[in-house]
Structure 1
């Protein structure tokens, strides 16, 4: 399954995987609010045998199939928000 990966703002380790053929408007409103701060990282062709560094490929594939997107959070599972800079 082909997808595009976006880095979410300045959130280290936070990425959105978006199924090929969809754009950022396919994301829930909460993620769309951050879309202006998303940077396209790369395109990937994912399959069950592919290895990803910080996330289970099965979870990514299921998210892409069911919703069209998958949100990868930092390893500690927390999004770090800087109130000073408004990110």
Structure 2
């Protein structure tokens, strides 16, 4: 299975995997509005891949096959200050 991967023009590090290049028929309209103008990044042969950098390859395959698309969101941002304070046993900074 080959899918097309598009990046969002509105959301950084957000990608949309669709079953066919240029076919967004299965993607809900509200999602497309939030995603913005899709920009093609690559055609990806999912059958030959064993893993992806961020997403679970099996989940991507399943959703592209069943729903016609997969939305990859950016990983959550780390709060290094909170992690450091927690490692020291300190409470969160009061605001």
TM-score, normalised to structure 2, is: 0.69
Q: How many residues are matched? A: 77
Q: Which range is displaced more, 6-15 or 25-34?
A: 25-34
1-structure distance, mates of 2:16, 2:32: 11
- Which 5+ residue runs of structure 2 have no aligned equivalent? 78-95
The residue aligned with 1:62 is: 62
Q: Is the 8 A contact 1:60 1:70 kept in 2?
A: yes
Higher relative contact order (CA 8 A, sep 6+): 1
Q: Is the 8 A contact 2:60 2:70 kept in 1?
A: yes
Structure with the higher fraction of residues in helix conformation: 2
TM-score, normalised to structure 1, is: 0.74
* 1:39 pairs with 2:35: no
The residue aligned with 1:18 is: 18
2-structure distance, mates of 1:66, 1:9: 25
- Which 5+ residue runs of structure 1 have no aligned equivalent? 78-87
Larger radius of gyration: 2
Tell me by how many angstroms 1:43 deviates: 0.3
